[in-house]
Structure 1
Amino acid sequence: MEDIEDLVGAGAPPGLRLPVTAVGIKPKRKPKARLVRDPADPGPQVPGTQSDSEYMAGQLSAFGYAVTEDPQEADLWLINTCTVKSPSQSAMTTLISKCKTAKKPLVVAGCVPQGSRDLKELEGISIIGVQQIDRVVEVVEETLKGHEVRLLSRKTLPSLDLPKVRKNKFIEILPINVGCLGACTYCKTKHARGHLGSYMVESLVERVRTVISEGVKEIWLSSEDTGAYGRDIGTNLPLLLNAIIAELPPDRSTMLRIGMTNPPYILEHLKDIAKVLCHPCVYSFLHVPVQSGSDSVLTAMNREYNVNEFRKVVDTLKELVPGMQIATDIICGFPGETDEDFTQTVSLIREYQFAQVHISQFYPRPGTPAARMKKVPSTVVKNRSRELTTVFESFSPYQGMEGQIVRIWITEIATDGIHLVGHTKGYIQVLVVAPESILGTSVNSKITSVGRWSAFGEVIDTPAMVNKGTQPENPKAGSSLNSNSCNSCECSRDPEPCQCRLPESCVQQTCTASHEDPIHIVMDQNHWGRNFIGSIQSLLVRKRSCGPEKKSEGNTFKSSNDHETEGTRRKLVAVDYMLLSGMALSFLTSVVLLFLISSKMMS
């Protein structure tokens, strides 16, 4: 399941695996789950969104549903939405229309129904709020019975121990809090996610222990604003990070990636955060949205910081953390933005030459203060977006890496099916040609060439050699090369798509929810009688008659009964041969006895 947010700017880099948008559930004996990417989906994931989708898929799978790729064969559609920008909501509307045309039961989850429950498009449709994902099975089953369910009331935070199906078995997306403390005038997510709610340090550390024991190799902390963590429960981000680091294997087999943080709160902990980013098991990468290079625009946005404070964050981290990579976001054409304001933004991006920048055009969200402000003409907004994109794409952030030997952590296969995708400690994407057996390991790689979005390398040792420390680290680890990945949800991000179009890029969003593709769920006709498909991110699941056992690999879920059936068949074949042999022997014995009896009687 993926976020359906749209990206503005250059196309995705070669080898980048984009997120899926829709999934269906179909009733087959051996159900398979397939993710279908929505045209509106930019690629990488939104922080909370992807995690929410994984949790919902996990619960459905644990309850006996199977995920499939074909929406038409799904018993029900489950759409997980994001409310950051209009394109996302438009994509949701399109999917709802397709679902109604296909006459499939439908459940819509995520920020859109939570923040805009009275939308006409949601009339007569089951909806589930961002803090009700632990009841997704209940909602799905009632919807399949023909009932309309609406669960939107907030309660305690969902448990971190809910069943979960990871899109990538090597990566755990761990939400550390929901909601935020900000009040940005353009943000709709606050309406959906609410005020800050942080998980306890002990709960998060316990989850880290669990996922490491399950073989996870990367942990992405997800949040609307990582820096604000703990302010509601009397703790803070540095305390949490140090507690998590204490659980990471000393051999660096599992790495930690810190999610998006806004400048106001990280300013209080800059040196402590820098110390954490220097740790060998933590990626030296951070996503810090600036949104504009003009103080007057930042004031209109109610961002609660100025450009100099943003500079302080960037300059301090780059000074204290060797090889530090920083990604950022820009909104073009915010109401009241003048030519001079935009010029200041362009100058800021030119000065720092960030390798990852998510460039977004302003979209008014109903109910937000910015929606009532005087708009910048759309033609001007588009021209500014194009100009900034051209400036951004003129940078060569990886120039000079050729010949370097760097350690990379490999966790996925590129979309070209040829390269594996690895990341340096600074989270620079490195594509290598190597056997899939090294997925989930770290290796030393020699950089052979660089592109605009990635570096290319060749593996020069085995994972075992790296783990023993026999190979050198990047000799230029202190260089200021920018990373190829970022968390992009303005309000919460861990994994998200970026304007930079990198494998794990950033998307300018303000939502921490799991905004992923539609979920298509296919259920066994013998038990449920029909199928259903999911949200903007969809998941296909089907219900089995026997207790299924989840297996997540390649987005495929197979029941343990399939394996048992195969074993039973093999046993039956052997028994058949024994029976036939026995019958044949008995027949021959009978013939011989009859012959002997007949001979005796005749004599």
Structure 2
Amino acid sequence: MEDIEDLLVGNGAGVPPGFRLPVPSAVGVNPKQRKKNGVTKLTVVQDSPAPKIPGTQTIYIKTFGCSHNQSDSEYMAGQLSAFGYALSDNPDEADLWMINTCTVKSPSQSAMDTIISKGRSAKKPLVVAGCVPQGSRNLKELEGVSIVGVQQIDRVVEVVEETLKGHEVRLLTRKTLPALDLPKVRKNKFVEILPINVGCLGACTYCKTKHARGHLGSYTVDSLVGRVKNVIADGVREIWLSSEDTGAYGRDIGVNLPILLNAIVAELPLNGSTMLRIGMTNPPYILEHLKEIADVLCHPCVYSFLHVPVQSGSDSILSAMNREYTVGEFRKVVDTLMELVPGMQIATDIICGFPGETDEDFAQTVDLIKDYKLAQVHISQFYPRPGTPAARMKKVPSNVVKQRSRELTAVFESFTPYIGVEGKVERIWITDIASDGIHLVGHTKGYIQVLVIGPESMMGSSAMVKITSVGRWSVFGEVIEILCQNNEDVPSEEACACSKEQEPCSATSDCCNQNPTLEATTLLRNDPNQDDHSSRNLIGWFLRNRKNQSSKKMDLTSSESKEKQIQDLSHRSAWSLVDIALLSGILLSLFTIVALFLNLGSRSLSSK
């Protein structure tokens, strides 16, 4: 199947982003030819739905993979919404399904296969985007579906329109990077995922993503800073810098990551209402900038958190992976950042069972994880990806791979990273609601996940909290003071204080004044100690409903609303006693009724 650009009328050149193409003269259609009674007929590959006005249909978008993929989906959703399409989380009510895919692991691609099969069974027009079709365009599973390449997301409206007409369209040719100012519908309105570059400079033997995302391509500093200004004006409270390798940023355009970070930090609000999170970086490209990176991580409005995948604790395995660094260099990155940045937290990745991994290699990996006791370690088994050099290497037996994965997971889960944090006072930034529907989710400067109880109006706020209890994956806190309520400001001199006590950063003399925090936690997971907080959760449910009802009855000014929330929080303990007394009374009444029935039953039996 040819790309759409190869089928244009005229000289066959591509068209500018956003240019709308008529069908059939300019859009690639994949018809099937049938001969009947000597007459050739053209039939489109999908049944044509009933004619509708373009832009009035409903689209279901399913996203797999990394934050970069999530950002791509948000951009595609924004363009479709701007053109008039409705977006739905319900696949059954949608007129078309769009699947944004991930090619990192086999399970992700298998999930794509499953949803494509379901879509075909439901007779839904399908558009597949992301790394799988870009890296493996000739997969059998992709036959008969439309495709949007990773650098063609700015033309998603064209593809959807033609697919709804029953045509199969493929846009895979690489071109200039999509603009950053395209319309966007964020999954979380308080979080902007900002891709700073695509592709990478590496050539890891196991990686399929390089086949899809290609060589490094960086956005300019000016374009990224401009985007940062716009999203801050939109009310975004967290900016996540995303790429396949953040540390490699700018090497293709004559700049580097510290230059970009300093330019972005200069635009962050002085009141500390918006935080910056630096994305995943491989060790080779930050080794020469460790001091500068530490300076940025010390900034009051930058999370003291970095994802640095090591993949193995064995130099021989790292060499087989072609990772271009040693275990010693990884240790240098971690040790330097932890020394220079108070409360610094490092997350890492491990691949268990890479081809050629011996028991000794695996033991070195276990020792590395034990040495640092990181709060975030993403452990996965090796999956051979088609077309990669590692897929041709001699594999470790699957039972051995599974056993090593279980063993390393047990070691990791035995860590207690939050011992000692209980009772501390921390500043958090609240951007989400927990899966239990009761707690709000915030993060400390060290990116520890803190669950608090409060009204949904606190979303997008910054607050001081006291840590009341700890779990394995997160901690629980009690709100003491709200510093920034959505768009409300606080005095700049107090806005970036992350705790009551301050400690100078070791990176520079005036870099920041942050109190060290403990290890960062993983993203929200089920807390094994969740049942211990069930009574508090129930009370919190009452509290949130009371606040939501009162907010509907009264139209307070912003200052009055903030004052009332602080007063409500100060009286929370008294309300909790009332709720507990009420529940206790109900339970006592139930026990009394049961006792009476039992007494009557025993008397009737004795009388007989």
**What is the TM-score when the length of structure 1 is the normalising length?**
0.73
In structure 2, do the counterparts of structure 1 residues 393 and 171 end up closer, same or farther at CA, with 3 Å as the change threshold?
Answer: same
Is 2:309–2:347's contact at 8 Å kept on the other side of the alignment? yes
Structure 2 distance, partners of 1:69, 1:308, is 46
Over the aligned positions, Cα root-mean-square deviation in angstroms equals 2.2
Identity of aligned residues (%): 76
Give the secondary-structure state (helix, strand or coil) at the position aligned to 1:381.
Answer: helix
1:430 alignment counterpart: 450
Alpha-carbon contact 2:61-2:73 (below 8 Å) kept: no
Is the contact made by 2:204 and 2:323 (CA closer than 8 Å) also made in structure 1? yes
- 1:442-481 alignment runs, 5 A limit: 442-464=462-484, 467-468=490-491, 469=494, 473=499, 475=501, 479=516, 481=518
Match of 2:409 in 1: 389
SS in 2 for 1:420: strand
* 3-state SS of 1:407 partner: strand
Residue 128 in 1 paired to residue 148 in 2? yes
| Alpha-carbon distance between aligned partners in 1 of 2:387 and 2:131, rounded to the nearest angstrom | 14
Instruction: Give the number of equivalent residue pairs.
Output: 457
Q: Does the Cα contact within 8 Å between 1:407 and 1:474 map onto a contact in 2?
A: no
2:23 maps to what in 1?
none
> Please, which of 233, 256, 259 is the counterpart of residue 239 of structure 1?
259
The answer to whether the Cα contact below 8 Å between 1:132 and 1:151 also exists between their aligned partners in 2 is yes
Runs of at least 4 residues off by over 3 Å: 31-38, 464-468, 474-480
Which structure is higher in helix share?
A: 2
Which stretches in structure 2 are left out of the alignment for 5+ residues? 1-51, 503-513, 528-608
Name the aligned partner's letter for residue 482 of structure 1.
Answer: E
Q: Note if 1:316 corresponds to 2:348.
A: no
Quick check: 1:482 aligned with 2:494? no
Query: Shift of the alpha carbon at 1:275?
Result: 0.2
Q: Is 1:325–1:481's contact at 8 Å kept on the other side of the alignment?
A: yes
Alpha-carbon distance change, 93 to 339 in structure 1, aligned in 2, over 3 angstroms = same
Alignment correspondent of 1:373: 393
Aligned positions of 1:183-582 closer than 5 A: 183-464=203-484, 467-468=490-491, 469=494, 473=499, 475=501, 479=516, 481-485=518-522
Question: Does residue 75 of the first structure (1) align with residue 95 of the second (2)?
Answer: yes
State how far apart, in whole Å, the 2-side matches of 1:166 and 1:183 are. Answer: 32
From the superposition, tell whether residues 170 and 33 of structure 1 become closer, same or farther in structure 2 (CA, over 3 Å).
farther
How many angstroms does 1:467 deviate by?
A: 3.2
Q: Secondary structure at the match of 1:92?
A: helix
Aligned-pair CA distance for 1:480: 6.2
Q: Give distance in 1, aligned partners of 2:114 and 2:498.
A: 52
Q: For the Cα contact (< 8 Å) 2:300–2:498, is it kept in 1?
A: no
Equivalent residue number for residue 23 of structure 1: none
CA contact (8 A) 1:109 1:129 kept: yes
1:143 corresponds to: 163
Partner Cα distance (2:62, 2:96) in 1: 17
2:16 aligned residue: none
Shift of 1:70: 2.1
**Aligned equivalents of 2:129 and 2:444: distance in 1?**
35
How far residue 406 of structure 1 moved from its aligned partner, in angstroms, is 0.2
Alpha carbons of structure 1 residues 36 and 105: separation in structure 2 relative to 1, 3 Å: closer
2: CA distance between counterparts of 1:287 and 1:255? 16
Deviation digits for residues 89-122 of structure 1, max 9, x if unmatched?
Answer: 1111111110110011100000000000010111
Structure 1 gaps of 5+ residues are 1-26, 486-496, 503-603
TM-score (norm 2): 0.73
- CA deviation vs aligned residue, 1:161-212 (integer Å, no higher than 9, x gap): 1100000111100000000000000000000000000000000000000001
Which residue of structure 2 aligns with residue 112 of structure 1? 132
* Equivalences for residues 41-120 of structure 1 within 5 A: 46-120=66-140
Q: Secondary structure at the match of 1:97?
A: helix
> Secondary structure in 2 aligned to 1:184?
coil
Higher relative CO (Cα under 8 Å, sequence separation at least 6) belongs to 1
> Structure 1: how far apart are the matches of 2:58 and 2:173?
31
Q: 2:129, 2:148 within 8 Å by CA — same for their partners in 1?
A: yes
1:527 alignment partner in structure 2: none
CA contact (8 A) 1:314 1:326 kept: yes
Q: Which amino acid aligns with 2:194?
A: L
2:189 is the alignment partner of 1:163: no
Distance in 2, matches of 1:122 and 1:437, equals 44
| Distance in structure 1 (CA, Å) of the matches to 2:286 and 2:409 | 28
* 3-state SS of paired residue (1:461): strand
Distance 1:400 1:432, change over 3 A: same
Tell me what 1:172 maps to.
192
